C-alpha cells in the first residue's frame, strides 16, 4: 500500500498550561503550531519554541470571519507587524489585511492569506482564489461554511480543479468536518486540528483525533470511502474502529463522519450524484445511526429480511446497487453475553422504539428473551409493537423493576444534564442494563447504575459487537474481536457468537439475489 504524508497544524485555542506540557506532547507529524491570538492573547514565541520544534503561525481572526478580534485596523496591523518579526507565518484575511502598507512589512514567504465565509459556488470560490492569488503568499486558505451536503463538496472540487500544493480548502461547521479529512488527499498541504477540546471553528477535530482516528499525518492509499451518517456524529468512535482496522489489515479505505441535517439531501447530493467518484474517491459503504436508520432502509435497492422485519438499517453497502442490512441485533445480545448475562428466557424491555431500539428488540427476541417495548410517544410505540408483534407500554406506565434486562435505546444521555428516560434507582438488584448511548466518559445512567453494583453494559460494547458483522459486509474482511477491543480501549476476551448472522438478502419485492 502506497503512503505519503501531509502536515498537521495544531491550533492553540485556550491559554497553555504553566509548563506547556501539552505542547511538548503533540503527536508526531505536527509541523505547525497556530496561535489564535484573538482567543489566547499574545504569547511569547520564544517560550513556545522551547516546547515545540516546528513552525509558528500567528492568527488574529476577526469577528467578521468567526473570530473574536474586534479592534480597529491600526491596532490589527500593529499586532501583525510585531508578529512578523517572531513568527514563521502570519494569517492575513483577504478581505481586510492586504493593504500595501502592511504587505511591505511582511515577506511573501511569511504570508498565509485566508478567507472564511458563507457557502459559495465553485465558480465563486474559484474567482475568490484568483483574486487572492494576485498577492504572493506561501499558502492560500479558503474555508466556506457547509450548512448542507452540497456546500461541503465545493471546496474539494476547487482543490481538484486547481491542483496546487499551496491551497488549503475545506468546509467549516459540523456538516463539513469530513472534508477536512479528504482535503489532504486532493492536494491541500495542511490539516488543522485543535490542540485541546475547544475547536477553533465548528467542525474542527482535535489533533489527537486526527492522529488516532484517521492515522494522520500518514496518507495511506484510499480507493474507496466509507462513513457514518447521523446527527450528532462527530463524537462517534466508529472512525477510530474502522480506520484502525483498515490500517491493520491493509484495506485501502477511509471512514469519515457525515453530520447530516437532512438524509434526503445527503442521499441526493452526495450518494446518487456520484460527486465523490468525480473526485476520485468513490463512496462504497455507510454506517447509519440515529435518527436515520429507518429512512436508510427506504433508499436501498436491496434489503435483508431482517432489516425489513426491523424496519430499519444500520448498514448500507454498494455492490451493483445499494444493499441494506442491520447488524444492531448482535450488538446488544453479544454485549450482554460478554458481561455474563443469560439472555434466553430473561424478561427484557427496550426503552425507545426508533431503529436502534427495534433492532435491539429483535436481537433479544431471537436470543430467546421475552421482550416488551416502551416509548414516550404512544403512536410510535404501538406502530413498532404491531410491526414486531411485541407487547408495548407507554413510558409513563413503565416500571424498570419488573425486568431482568433493560435496554436504553433513546438518544438521551450524550450530555450529563439530559433527562433520563427512567430512574436507575428503580432497577432490580439482579438486573442488567444496556445503555446504547456512549461518549468520551460513561453516561450518567451507566454511572448511577454501576454505583448500585448492578451490571451495566457500555454502549462501546454494543458498538464493537455490531461492528464485526458490519465490517465484514463493507470490506469482505474479518475484523477480529481482540483488535476491535484494542482500538476501542476495551478489555476482555473473545466471546462466543450466537446465531444471529445476516440472512440471505432479497429485493424489496421479495426476489432472492
By annotation, the residues acting in catalysis are 293
Give the integer Cα–Cα distance in Å for 469 and 283.
19
CB 35 within 8 A of CB 89: no
CB 283 within 8 A of CB 276: yes
Helix (H) or strand (E) holding 465: helix 459-475
Give the integer Cα–Cα distance in Å for 87 and 109.
11
Question: Which residues fall within 8 angstroms of residue 74, CB to CB, at 6 or more apart?
Answer: none
Name beta bridge partners: 90: 58, 111
Cell numbers describing residue 231: 446527527
Evaluated on CA atoms 411, 287, 334, 249, the torsion sign reads negative
CB 350 within 8 A of CB 409: yes
How many other CB atoms are found less than 10 A from the CB of residue 304? 22
Question: Which residues fall within 8 angstroms of residue 415, CB to CB, at 6 or more apart?
Answer: none
Evaluated on CA atoms 30, 31, 34, 40, the torsion sign reads positive
Cell numbers describing residue 236: 462517534
Give the integer Cα–Cα distance in Å for 218 and 3.
7
Buried b (16+ CB within 10 A) or exposed e, 115-136: bbbebbeeeebbebbeebeebe
Where do runs of H (alpha helix) occur along 54-204? 73-84, 100-103, 122-132, 149-162, 177-182
**Helix, strand, coil percentages for the chain (3-state, nearest 5):** 40, 20, 40
Distance of CA 404 to the CA centre of its chain: 34
CB 120 within 8 A of CB 155: no
Strand order of the β-sheet with 224-230 is 253-259, 224-230, 283-288, 315-318, 322-325, 302-303, 506-507
Compute the chain's Rg from CA coordinates: 25
Residues 290/291/294/297 CA torsion (nearest 10 deg): -70
Q: Which residue has the cell 505519503?
A: 4
Amino acid at each position: 500500500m502506497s503512503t505519503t504524508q501531509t502536515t498537521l497544524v495544531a491550533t492553540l485555542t485556550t491559554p497553555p498550561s504553566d509548563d506547556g506540557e501539552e505542547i511538548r506532547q503533540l503527536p508526531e507529524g505536527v509541523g505547525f503550531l497556530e496561535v489564535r491570538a484573538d482567543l489566547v492573547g499574545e504569547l511569547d514565541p520564544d517560550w513556545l519554541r522551547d516546547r515545540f520544534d516546528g513552525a509558528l503561525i500567528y492568527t488574529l481572526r476577526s469577528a467578521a470571519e468567526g473570530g473574536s478580534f474586534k479592534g480597529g485596523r491600526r491596532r490589527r496591523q500593529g499586532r501583525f507587524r510585531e508578529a512578523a518579526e517572531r513568527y514563521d507565518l502570519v494569517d492575513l484575511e483577504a478581505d481586510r489585511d492586504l493593504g500595501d502598507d502592511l504587505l511591505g512589512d511582511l515577506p511573501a514567504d511569511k504570508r498565509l492569506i485566508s478567507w472564511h465565509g458563507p457557502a459559495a459556488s465553485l465558480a465563486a470560490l474559484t474567482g475568490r482564489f484568483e483574486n487572492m492569488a494576485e498577492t504572493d503568499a506561501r499558502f492560500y486558505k479558503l474555508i466556506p461554511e457547509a450548512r448542507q451536503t452540497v456546500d461541503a463538496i465545493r471546496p474539494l472540487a476547487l482543490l481538484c480543479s486547481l491542483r496546487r500544493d499551496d491551497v488549503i480548502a475545506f468546509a467549516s461547521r459540523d456538516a463539513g468536518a469530513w472534508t477536512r479529512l479528504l482535503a489532504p488527499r486532493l492536494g491541500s498541504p495542511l490539516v488543522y486540528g485543535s490542540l485541546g477540546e475547544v475547536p477553533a471553528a465548528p467542525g474542527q477535530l482535535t489533533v489527537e483525533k486526527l492522529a488516532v482516528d484517521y492515522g494522520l499525518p500518514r496518507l495511506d492509499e484510499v480507493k474507496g470511502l466509507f462513513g457514518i451518517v447521523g446527527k450528532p456524529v462527530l463524537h462517534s468512535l466508529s472512525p477510530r474502529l474502522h480506520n484502525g482496522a483498515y490500517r491493520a489489515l491493509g484495506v485501502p479505505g477511509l471512514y469519515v463522519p457525515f453530520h447530516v441535517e437532512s438524509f434526503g439531501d445527503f442521499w441526493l447530493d452526495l450518494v446518487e450524484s456520484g460527486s465523490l467518484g468525480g473526485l476520485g474517491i468513490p463512496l462504497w459503504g455507510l454506517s447509519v445511526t440515529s435518527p436515520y436508520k429507518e429512512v436508510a432502509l427506504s433508499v436501498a435497492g436491496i434489503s435483508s429480511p431482517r432489516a425489513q422485519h426491523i424496519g430499519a438499517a444500520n448498514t448500507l453497502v454498494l455492490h451493483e446497487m445499494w444493499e441494506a442490512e442491520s447488524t444492531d441485533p448482535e450488538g446488544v445480545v453479544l454485549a450482554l453475553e460478554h458481561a455474563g448475562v443469560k439472555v434466553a428466557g430473561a424478561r427484557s424491555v427496550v426503552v425507545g422504539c426508533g431503529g436502534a431500539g427495534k433492532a435491539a428488540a429483535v436481537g433479544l427476541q431471537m436470543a430467546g428473551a421475552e421482550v416488551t417495548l416502551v416509548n414516550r410517544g404512544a403512536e410510535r410505540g404501538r406502530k413498532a409493537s404491531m410491526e414486531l408483534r411485541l407487547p408495548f407500554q407507554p413510558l409513563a406506565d413503565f416500571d424498570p423493576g419488573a425486568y431482568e434486562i433493560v435496554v436504553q435505546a433513546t438518544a438521551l444521555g450524550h450530555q450529563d444534564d439530559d433527562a433520563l428516560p427512567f430512574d436507575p434507582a428503580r432497577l432490580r438488584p439482579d438486573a442488567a442494563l444496556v445503555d446504547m448511548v456512549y461518549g468520551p466518559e460513561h453516561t450518567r445512567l451507566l454511572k448511577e447504575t454501576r454505583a448500585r453494583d448492578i451490571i451495566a453494559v457500555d454502549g462501546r460494547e454494543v458498538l464493537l459487537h455490531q461492528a464485526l458483522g458490519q465490517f465484514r459486509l463493507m470490506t469482505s474482511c474479518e475484523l477480529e474481536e481482540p483488535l476491535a477491543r484494542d482500538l476501542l480501549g476495551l478489555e476482555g476476551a473473545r466471546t462466543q457468537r450466537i446465531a444471529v448472522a445476516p440472512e440471505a438478502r432479497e429485493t424489496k419485492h421479495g426476489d432472492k439475489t
